[in-house]
Amino acid sequence: MKKLYFIALLLTSSLVYSQGTISGTVFDGETGETIINATVQVLGTSKGAVTDFDGNFSFKLKSDTYDLKISFISYETILVKKVFVANNETTILEEIKIDQKSEEMAVFTVVGEQVRNTEGALDIIKMNDVKMLDGITSDKIKLTGDGTAGEAAKRITGVSVDGGKYIYVRGLGDRYTKTTLNGVSIPGLDPDRNSLQMDIFPSNLISNIIVSKNFTADLSPDFAGGAINIETTAFPDKKVFDVSFGMSYNPQMHFNNEFLSYEGGNTDFLGFDNGTRSLPTNANSNNIPTPISGASKEEVYDFVTSFDKELGAKQQTSLTDYSLALTFGNQFDLKNQKSKRISYIMSASYKSEYKFYDNVTYGEYQKSLESSDTELKYATVQNGQIGERQFLIGLLGGIAYKTNEDQLKFTAMHLQNAEKRAAQFNIDNNGEAVGQSGYIASSDNLEFNQRGLTNFLLEGEHIREKSNWEINWKLSPTFSSSEDPDIRKTAFTNAPLDTFFSAGAGGNPTRIWRNLNEMNLAAKVDLTKKYSFREKEGKLKFGFSEIYKSRDYEILFFDVQFFGGQNWTNSNPNKVLDQENLYTQGGNNIYFQSGNKNPNPNSYESSVNNIGLYVSNEYMLSKKLNTIVGLRAENYVQRHTGRDQLYASGDEFNGTNLEDEKVLESFDLFPSVNLIYKVKEKQNLRFSYGRTIARPSFKELSFAQILDPISNRIFNGSLFKYADWDGNLQETRIDNLDVRWELYKKVGQMISVSGFYKFFDKPIELVRIPEQQTSTEYQPRNVGDGMVLGLEFEFKTNIEMISSEKNIFSLSGNLILVNSQITMTDAEYNSRNGYIKKGESITNKRQMAGQSPFVVNCGIMFTNKESEIQSGLFYNVKGPTLYIVGAGLFPDIYTDPFHSLNFSINKKIGKDKRTKIDFKVSNLLGDNNYNYYSSFEAENQPYSEFNIGRTVSVGVSHKF
């Protein structure tokens, strides 16, 4: 059954001749694919057009009322009556569908590109794609008012977002989520995570975000929860010139004179440091000038003064958040060649934000040693305020060349982001806790993180209708960097009689430079051949992909040292590096000592070469049963250059040094079977099996030892052998089984129920090292086998009872319930048993880390077409999730559900309804971000807690 769908955007321009432009898109009602060469006629005139490669058409008309006729071979003709084209009005026509002609026509395959930026179109894609998809489109993002991809993604069924950055699909942690940009792999920006930071994508650059929840052979197999693809703004088929401006106000964060910041550099607002925080010259040398390095007094003094003197946070008044965005694009025909078109797009956005958390807590807690005492005991509690400035710049430019058979696109994008943070904490260390000596300290922390991502994408699409071939290829290099120049922590230890710096208590002042550079080169080609076999349609798809990525990472750190005793009359951190405190200038004799060996054990280079080949066949076994069977083969080689501490300190015999050595090599086959049974019209029953993989990250397969100076927690690369860990980290192979029943009703209304089961062969988890009790150290290790069993439910419906033609109320929601289980290693089981409390029973099974037991998303929306008002109330929550696995003395850490309730409303105003005003209130319930320690019958205690308050945002956008 073939149906045409038609979306027409009626544009009226304010030309003096009272002319307007009608443009729209025609697509197949069944597949969602756009239709090329469909005829659009304006009845009663000689005007007409043929749809282009993207199914688009447009023509100019005088202001009047018209009937449109849209026809295409083998499809029922659509008649759209009384389309009013006027000067001062913009009308969006509803999607219209018609049935297929009753008589059979010659088989004609419809090819083209899918429309993906409206929710209605997305439903059609979901219904017809061989994958089980969910997603969000720019249409809905405009309604919810979400500012970044991270905020928008959490609306997607089964998706939750951690910290506004990291995506969890079906509650599975970011390790099991793969993110691509326009279908190609890009590097992550966080050295500590496997997945991409989603907050760096401003929503005005996004056309849609689509999640594939099951595997087909044409996808990269390195995911289990979902493969997420962010598609950037589509090329326009008409002139687009949009400008928007927004502001937000949060009473806790803005116009607050206690906001914390520091000087920094004068280009901070552009998302990068101007060199103020650069590593001083000589600091990277083997023998930095110190009193004991053989350097002269003057050299030591000069070296100390080459470091920025600013160590303290200072209060200043914060302003409000604001954002600006601009998009400009057009399409034009090449001279005299109607079928050859060029379109281009340019988009820029800027966002500046102030975040102020006036009551932040970081805690380290321990179990009691007594089996009868269930309460948790604190080791260290830090309490204070954090002021943060965020700057985000997004730039995108693209150009496309289209004919009816070929399309070439080139897109370039750069994202630049900076987070500038200043914090003050009071630190209380409990001498009664295990491994702690007890002290009180007050610290000032200054941080700056800058991230940059530059992506180029060259892609081609070639369709040969006669031979039924389609070729797609992509070439995409991406360069990214994440730098933390000059992180400073200065903590005075406050003893009853003295205030001073104590290595064994609050620590000496420390400064850290971290540098990460990553490059990704991705290439892929997909070939599709449509065929007919025994009068049934089929599609054979095969292709090749290669990804080469490399990363280099380095951490350098320097400690303040005192050559002799200390005497502080002024404990202002900004006075610490005053001249009278420096080496040989006075009592405190400050100099900098290097924590960096040469070669640096905290520096590594890694690379991956990943080659994939696949073949996949789609065939309609019967009119109702579609089968997609595929096999993908991948060869994966990971290399590492790095060394352990022992080697770095000169022990070439017992130490280990790797020079571009293979640390992981695997050849894997990834089979997949997908069955789609069409129970009825618009009702599918799907079944899918696929084998996928989760590979260790660069950082995980390294000798890196990364100290977070603020929380004082240490990450150890897995290559270190330790206690019962053999230093041999393995990839995780995952078997995925999925079923889904789905029913699509009218446009924008659907219901689906899915079930899934996943088996993980020795998954990797970040394990707290129980043998280390003084500091908090983690190492990624393979743990026991895991499994996940889940149920997913989604619906979108209009509330007919209270809706009318003008006022439409609709309700949408999704719910996911997951039961996950990990078999503990013996070491973990024993270490838990060693702390068993009276009345507690411990088995060797537990919830998987990062796996939320449930995720709920729902929203109620209201649309009034006449007054052009759209409004929505959206709720999102994720169940308590095991965040970090505890061990022995250390309890498990959970993430508390964050009840996010947002309200948004927008209205179009002005003569042409070209101006839109948005109003939004975020976190209506005023919930806090809270991670906590949990133990048998114990009161929960904070691991991290901060309040974010409520935010009111207002935005204006205008289309020229």
Using the rule CB under 8 A, which residue among 505, 822, 824, 893 binds other proteins?
A: 505
Question: Nearest distance from residue 766's CB to other proteins, in Å?
Answer: 14
In a 13 Å sphere around the CA of 278, the CA atoms on its Cβ side amount to 7
Q: Which stretch binds other proteins (CB under 8 A): 66-74, 88-96, 260-268, 590-598?
A: 590-598
Return the number of the residue (25 or 443) whose C-beta is nearest other proteins: 443
Alpha helices per DSSP H over 310-365:
none
Return the number of the residue (687 or 722) whose C-beta is nearest other proteins: 722
Q: Which stretch binds other proteins (CB under 8 A): 171-179, 309-317, 496-504, 741-749?
A: 496-504
Q: Which stretch binds other proteins (CB under 8 A): 198-206, 348-356, 634-642, 766-774?
A: 766-774
Q: Within 917-946, which residues bind other proteins (CB under 8 A)?
A: none
Copy the structure tokens of residue 383: 């309490």
Report in angstroms the alpha-carbon separations of 134 from 174, 211, 229, 811, 816: 17, 5, 11, 17, 13
Question: Which of 210, 223, 131, 133 has its CA nearest to residue 616?
Answer: 131
Burial class (CB in 10 A: 0-12, 13-18, 19+), 7: buried
- Is-contact 77 103, C-beta < 8 A? no
Question: Nearest distance from residue 649's CB to other proteins, in Å?
Answer: 2
Binding mask 625-664 for other proteins (x = CB under 8 A): -------------------xxx-xxxxxxx----------
Question: Which of 218, 220, 210, 211 has its CA nearest to residue 186?
Answer: 220
Q: Within 175-194, which residues bind other proteins (CB under 8 A)?
A: none
Binding mask 525-564 for other proteins (x = CB under 8 A): --------------------------------x-x-xxxx
Q: Within 60-119, which residues bind other proteins (CB under 8 A)?
A: none
| DSSP string for 782-794 | E-S-EEEEEEEEE
Rounded Cα distance, 521 and 87, in Å: 49
Q: Is 127 helix (H, G, I), strand (E, B) or coil?
A: helix
Name the residue type at position 43: L
Return the number of the residue (180 or 596) whose C-beta is nearest other proteins: 596
Q: Which stretch binds other proteins (CB under 8 A): 15-23, 540-548, 770-778, 792-800?
A: 770-778
Name the residue type at position 368: S
Q: Within 698-757, which residues bind other proteins (CB under 8 A)?
A: 703, 705, 707, 712, 714, 716, 720-723
Q: Within 670-699, which residues bind other proteins (CB under 8 A)?
A: none
Q: Within 289-348, which residues bind other proteins (CB under 8 A)?
A: 290-293
Pairing verdict, β 941-947 and 337-366:
antiparallel
In a 13 Å sphere around the CA of 338, the CA atoms on its Cβ side amount to 8
| DSSP string for 325-340 | EEEEEEEEEETTEEEE
Question: Nearest distance from residue 481's CB to other proteins, in Å?
Answer: 24
Rounded Cα distance, 27 and 738, in Å: 29
Is residue 445 part of the contact set for other proteins (CB under 8 A)? no
Question: Nearest distance from residue 589's CB to other proteins, in Å?
Answer: 8
- Is-contact 103 20, C-beta < 8 A? no
Is residue 439 part of the contact set for other proteins (CB under 8 A)? yes
Q: What would the 3-class secondary structure string for 452-499 be? A: EEEEEEEEEEEEECCCCEEEEEEEEEEEEEEEEEEEEEEEEEECCCCE
CA 343 to chain centre: 29
Question: Which of 55, 28, 230 has its CA nearest to residue 141?
Answer: 230
Return the number of the residue (364 or 738) whose C-beta is nearest other proteins: 364
Return the number of the residue (291 or 477) whose C-beta is nearest other proteins: 291
Return the number of the residue (293 or 821) whose C-beta is nearest other proteins: 293
Question: Nearest distance from residue 585's CB to other proteins, in Å?
Answer: 16
Rounded Cα distance, 525 and 471, in Å: 7
Question: Backbone phi, then psi, for 196, in 5-degree steps?
Answer: -80, 145
Question: Which of 105, 75, 80 has its CA nearest to residue 91?
Answer: 80
Question: Which of 722, 615, 590 has its CA nearest to residue 671?
Answer: 615
Using the rule CB under 8 A, which residue among 74, 749, 772, 823 binds other proteins?
A: 772
Task: State the number of binding residues for other proteins (CB under 8 A).
Answer: 83
Return the number of the residue (446 or 861) whose C-beta is nearest other proteins: 446
Q: Which stretch binds other proteins (CB under 8 A): 491-499, 604-612, 630-638, 666-674?
A: 491-499
Q: Within 831-890, which residues bind other proteins (CB under 8 A)?
A: 831, 833-835, 888-889
Q: Is 524 helix (H, G, I), strand (E, B) or coil?
A: strand
Question: Nearest distance from residue 608's CB to other proteins, in Å?
Answer: 23
Question: Nearest distance from residue 776's CB to other proteins, in Å?
Answer: 10
Using the rule CB under 8 A, which residue among 363, 506, 780, 853 binds other proteins?
A: 506
Sign of CA dihedral 97, 103, 104, 108: negative
Binding mask 509-528 for other proteins (x = CB under 8 A): -x------------------
Is residue 266 part of the contact set for other proteins (CB under 8 A)? no
Binding mask 360-399 for other proteins (x = CB under 8 A): ------x--x----------x-------------------
Residues paired with residue 469 on neighbouring β-strands, in sequence order = 464, 529
- Is-contact 317 347, C-beta < 8 A? no
Question: Nearest distance from residue 713's CB to other proteins, in Å?
Answer: 10
Using the rule CB under 8 A, which residue among 348, 434, 753, 869 binds other proteins?
A: 434
Name the residue type at position 238: K
Copy the structure tokens of residue 610: 């990943």
Question: Nearest distance from residue 569's CB to other proteins, in Å?
Answer: 13
Is residue 499 part of the contact set for other proteins (CB under 8 A)? no
Question: Nearest distance from residue 430's CB to other proteins, in Å?
Answer: 10
Rounded Cα distance, 274 and 263, in Å: 12
In this structure, the number of other CB atoms found within 10 A of the CB of residue 630 comes to: 23
Binding mask 810-829 for other proteins (x = CB under 8 A): -----------------x--
Return the number of the residue (57 or 558) whose C-beta is nearest other proteins: 558
Return the number of the residue (538 or 595) whose C-beta is nearest other proteins: 595
Rounded Cα distance, 340 and 344, in Å: 14
Q: Is 940 helix (H, G, I), strand (E, B) or coil?
A: coil
Using the rule CB under 8 A, which residue among 282, 383, 593, 635 binds other proteins?
A: 593
Using the rule CB under 8 A, which residue among 601, 748, 897, 955 binds other proteins?
A: 601
Return the number of the residue (646 or 753) whose C-beta is nearest other proteins: 646
Return the number of the residue (596 or 672) whose C-beta is nearest other proteins: 596
**Torsion region of 149: left, alpha or beta (phi above 0 gives left; psi -120 to 50 gives alpha):** alpha
Return the number of the residue (65 or 584) whose C-beta is nearest other proteins: 584
Rounded Cα distance, 694 and 850, in Å: 14
Question: Nearest distance from residue 566's CB to other proteins, in Å?
Answer: 8
Copy the structure tokens of residue 758: 């996943």
Copy the structure tokens of residue 841: 């029973």
Cβ-Cβ contacts under 8 Å for 870 (sequence gap 6 or more): 143, 861, 862, 863, 864, 905, 906, 907
Question: Nearest distance from residue 578's CB to other proteins, in Å?
Answer: 21
Using the rule CB under 8 A, which residue among 71, 284, 306, 830 binds other proteins?
A: 830
Return the number of the residue (716 or 904) whose C-beta is nearest other proteins: 716
Q: Within 191-230, which residues bind other proteins (CB under 8 A)?
A: none
- Is-contact 120 747, C-beta < 8 A? yes
